[in-house]
Amino acid sequence: MKVLQTPVDIASLARLILNPDCRSIAILTGAGVSVASGIPDFRSPGGMYATLRPELLTATPQQRKWMAMDPTYVVSWDVFQSNAFPYLEVRRPFILGTQQQTWKATIAHRFAELLHAKTSKLTRVYTQNIDGLDRQCTAIPCDRIVSVHGSIAQVACEGCGADMDLEEFCQKVRTNIKDIYEPSNGPAESTPIQCSKCGQALVKPKTVLFGRNLPKEFFERSGEDMPNLDLLIVAGTSLVVSPANSLVYQVPESTIRVVVNAEPVGEELGVDYESGPAGRDFFAQGDCDSVFLDLIQELGWLDDLKAQNDLLPPKSQKLLAGTT
């Protein structure tokens, strides 16, 4: 039976990744991996929920009252099934920015791509992010990425499930949905975007609304992957959102777990930061881009990353420029 050594630093983590006995690696990501891209933040102070102004949205007085009490109602099934406008108006800049690739995949995202390209050990990326940045890493096969909460970059009817082309949808967003942030950018009033198949005004990006189920793919893939995993890398997530956080305790006791984050997370889920090499958990403290850049250097993949410099966001490029 193979016994893998728990890393104690970035150098030993690199050795673990390159160890022939380490054959299956999964990555669970959260908002922290996208910070360097400049992607809009939803939950933090100053983010979408904290600054939501329901009075600007096309909604009934009751719906505005709900959203004032709990801003997450703006992306809930309760509201969307009868009125798609609040969701589309709030998300308008994010939808159009995603189509235009305003935000670019970071060093943290490119690490996963290099891991697949250089070792073929990447079993899956499970991302809690809806920003679609993982799919800019085109060397990763689509079936290796599971968007746990859906993705802004894919569009379908919430009623009948029919897909819609992203380009066509974005054109309708420009012409049909008012811009509550920059009113001169859109129409004075919002008008419905109807599904070409069922006619309902329920077309939206494939993000999971509050009150709706996660994609079946998450449960199917995690059921297949977790029992055989050698290494689970948890990056940029608070591990407070269920069921994505269940991956940390679904894996066998032999699976090594690495947490890349600014502060310790997941202790209530069984992650043990005190046991050191005698345990199976390693805490790589720091912001995601910095930690993964150090890891890429230790792995000897720095030149490969530098070849992708033009694909990185400015903040990641600046960090990469400081390496030798």
> Which of 245, 250, 249, 256 has its CA nearest to residue 222?
250
* pLDDT in 10s for each residue of the chain, 324 residues: 568 999 999 999 999 999 999 999 999 999 999 999 998 666 555 566 667 899 999 999 999 999 999 998 999 999 999 999 999 999 999 999 999 999 999 999 999 999 999 999 999 999 999 999 999 999 999 999 999 999 998 999 999 999 999 999 999 999 999 999 999 999 999 999 999 999 999 999 999 999 999 999 999 999 999 999 999 999 999 999 999 999 999 999 999 999 999 999 999 999 999 988 889 999 999 999 999 999 999 999 999 999 999 999 999 999 999 987
How many Å is the maximal CA-CA distance in the chain?
67
The pLDDT score that the predictor gives to residue 299 is 98
Active site residues per annotation: 149
> Which of 267, 285, 148 has its CA nearest to residue 208?
148
The pLDDT score that the predictor gives to residue 52 is 85
Question: How large is the C-alpha radius of gyration of the chain?
Answer: 21
- Cα 132 to its chain centre, rounded Å, is 7
Q: Categorise residue 114: left if φ over 0, alpha if ψ from -120 to 50, beta otherwise.
A: alpha
Domains of the chain plus CATH, in order, are 10-38+105-150+214-321 (3.40.50.1220), 54-101+159-201 (no CATH)
Q: In what order do the strands lie in the sheet with 25-29?
A: 145-147, 122-127, 25-29, 231-235, 256-261, 281-285
